[in-house]
Amino acid sequence: MVSQSQNRARLKACARQLLLADGYAATSIAKITGAAGLTTGAYYSNFDNKAQLTIELLQDLQAENQQHVEAILATADVGARINALQAWVETILASGWPRLELEFALASRGDAGLVEQEGHRNHAATRALEKSLEQLAPSLTQGPVPVRRIAEIILDLGYGLAVRTVIDPTVTSDHLFEIINIVAGLVGTPTAM
């Protein structure tokens, strides 16, 4: 007999695939349960609604990618680090994650509870990036711009780029990484950059 936790995992796996491929608006609970081979009753015994499942998936994606970025930032060679970051960014832009984030954010604007949860998730991403930057370049903590502000700027650039790719899939991160490479060249390529 299949356990509830197995059904939950199956629903999440199918939902992840569908939400990333088709987006939030086009993915119904019926579509998720159909792909999972389960009933809507099985769905509702695991999740209150589509939003709850989506938030869990977005949290999972955020955690997975945070670990990936931390591994990239641990790379000693600055050039290799920048190249790995660009490859990761391009993978993310093509993954469907930006579209899912944007559609979900727009769909949840009228729900104060969802807006609050999304705000907490956003703040967690900022704190995680801030911590990574402090470990990567401890000298940033002594600079004129707070590390938290630098983390916010990086995320703002990333979100802006993600929205642009949702609007126009031909947009890439090339221009952003051209600037990053120029800045890296101007400040030299210290291992603690």
In tens, the pLDDT along 97-117 reads 999 999 999 999 999 999 999
Judge whether 193 lies within some domain: no
Please give the C-alpha separations between residue 31 and each of 105, 151, 183, in angstroms, as whole numbers: 21, 37, 47
What is residue 187's predicted lDDT score, i.e. its pLDDT?
61
| In a shared domain, residues 106 and 171 | yes
What is residue 193's predicted lDDT score, i.e. its pLDDT?
43
The number of domains in the chain is 2
| In a shared domain, residues 23 and 106 | no
Which domain range does residue 163 map to? 50-186
- Angstrom distance (rounded) from CA 119 to CA 109: 11
What is residue 188's predicted lDDT score, i.e. its pLDDT?
57
Judge whether 12 lies within some domain: yes
In tens, the pLDDT along 36-85 reads 999 999 999 999 999 999 999 999 999 999 999 989 988 888 889 999 99
Judge whether 170 lies within some domain: yes
Amino acid at 105: A
What is residue 16's predicted lDDT score, i.e. its pLDDT?
98
| In a shared domain, residues 23 and 38 | yes
Q: What is the CATH number of the domain that holds 80?
A: 1.10.357
Q: What is the CATH number of the domain that holds 18?
A: 1.10.10.60
Judge whether 163 lies within some domain: yes
Across the chain, mean pLDDT equals 91
In tens, the pLDDT along 123-141 reads 999 999 999 888 888 888 8
| In a shared domain, residues 29 and 59 | no
Please work out, in degrees rounded to the nearest 5, the angle formed at the alpha carbon of residue 68 by the alpha carbons of 64 and 72.
Answer: 170
The residue with tokens 């903590």 is 141
| In a shared domain, residues 134 and 64 | yes
Judge whether 191 lies within some domain: no
